Amino acid sequence: MPHEAARTDYPARKRPSRRSGVLTSALSVSSCLVLGELLVRFLAPQNMMFPRYRYSESYLTTLYPNSTVIHECPGRFRYRYTVNADGYRGERVDESSPRPKIVVLGDSYSLGVGVDDGDEYPAVLRREIDDTMDVIDVGVGGWGLPQEIRRFYEFGVRFDPKIVVLQFSANDPADGLIAPVTHRNGDRFEFHSLGRGPRHLNRWLARSWIQKSQLYNSVRSRLWLATRRLAEKRLGANRGGKEKTDRPISENDPPPPDEAAYLALLRPFAQDLHDRGIRTCMISVNGQLDRFPHIRTEVAALDSLGLLTYLEVEPWFAGVNDYASPEGHLWGTEAHHIVGRGVARWVRSVSAETPPNE
């Protein structure tokens, strides 16, 4: 039988097109992202905030005016923070309101991160004094004393407040080094710009859908924490005594840079408020002022001079143990109510001493 000639007319194999290769890669990447998103959501859910803080050359961070911030962690908590047209939480207060004013200066504890609208202690304070005074809560997360002082003179002072509440937490001294927007020059305060910074990128990211991604927030939180620690180490911040090697042995030692920067601003600010006829009270998150012996000593001195009144909050919590927020802040809903009622008692006492319309 004659041999058949070998076939040579097989159809040529098609080489994958560039388009199909790109599509395959995109599908692979998308599948990995979806899988990663699901794994993080169910195994290690992350805190999400939308919109996040806005970058500011004057304050480092501010809140978006006329916004509703949703702060949540899937399956754990969900909070709503309503921001008014002037960029602070709570009902907007008109400068022409006939009621006396209270201005609250602080960070995320005064903002009320970790509690719903109306449960933050400035709102509780307003209700406890039966709305006889207006309360302007200009606290913003991540602020230190430099931002708080600047906000008072650029915004709070226009309300001609009768009372200022100054709230302290352990990250305040370091925050003041990271964003030194206020300095004391002779007998006056000077304000400085932080520069344009990542303004456009930050403002795009703050209101982008990516803020709702669990995978993104997992990466973001780790990067933020690492960056924060590097900044504190570079600036020589005490970090609230969390590391014993960074903490002075006693108040007789020279104050570390973060305490020194705080001290340089606190007394002049308290003195100026006193000279303006403004009653000032200072409160601290439970036990956190004690981590800073130099600041604690100065606060006691200012209290004895009558330049401010320091209110110890710990006695208000007698018999109360579980008061933290599921979000992570030491003050949860019950704590904010306790603090709001405690500050209200002091406000009523000083109002009785001096009629608020004087």
pLDDT in tens, 107-130: 999 999 999 999 999 999 999 999
What's the whole-number average pLDDT of the chain? 86
CB atoms under 10 Å from CB of 310, counted, come to 18
Spatial contact of 159 and 98, defined as CB atoms under 8 Å apart: no
Sign of the dihedral through C-alpha 206, 208, 229, 247 = positive
pLDDT of residue 213: 75
pLDDT band at residue 221 using 50, 70 and 90 as cut-offs:
confident
**Contact between residue 86 and residue 156 where contact means Cβ atoms under 8 Å apart:** no
pLDDT confidence bin for 243, thresholds 50/70/90: very low
Among 256, 88, 117, 75, smallest CA distance to 173 is for: 256
> Token pair for residue 255?
């104050």
Mean pLDDT along residues 247-257: 72
The 3-class SS string of 227-286 reads HHHHHHHHHCCCHHHCCHHHCCCCCCCCCCHHHHHHHHHHHHHHHHHHHCCCEEEEEECC
Q: Percent helix, strand and coil across the chain, each rounded to 5?
A: 45, 15, 40
Domain ranges across the chain: 46-353
Query: Which of 3.90.1150.10, 1.10.150.80, 3.30.590.10, 3.40.50.1110 would CATH assign to domain 46-353?
Result: 3.40.50.1110
- Residue 283: pLDDT band (50, 70, 90) is very high
Residue 324 half-sphere exposure toward CB, CA atoms < 13 A? 6
Give yes or no for residue 292 having a pLDDT over 70: yes
Please state, in angstroms and rounded to a whole number, the distance separating the CA atoms of residues 4 and 296: 102
Tell me what pLDDT residue 218 has. Answer: 73
pLDDT over threshold 60, residue 327: yes
Place 357 in a pLDDT band, splitting at 50, 70 and 90. very low
What is the bridge-based pairing of β-strands 279-284 and 163-168? Answer: parallel
Split at pLDDT 50, 70, 90, the class of 10 is low
Q: Which of 15-19, 219-223, 233-237, 291-295 has the highest mean pLDDT?
A: 291-295
Point out the least confidently predicted range of 40-44, 200-204, 316-320.
40-44
- In tens, the pLDDT along 62-90 reads 999 999 999 998 889 999 999 999 999 99
pLDDT tens per residue across span 146-167: 999 999 999 999 999 999 999 9
Q: Which two tokens stand for residue 284?
A: 């601290």
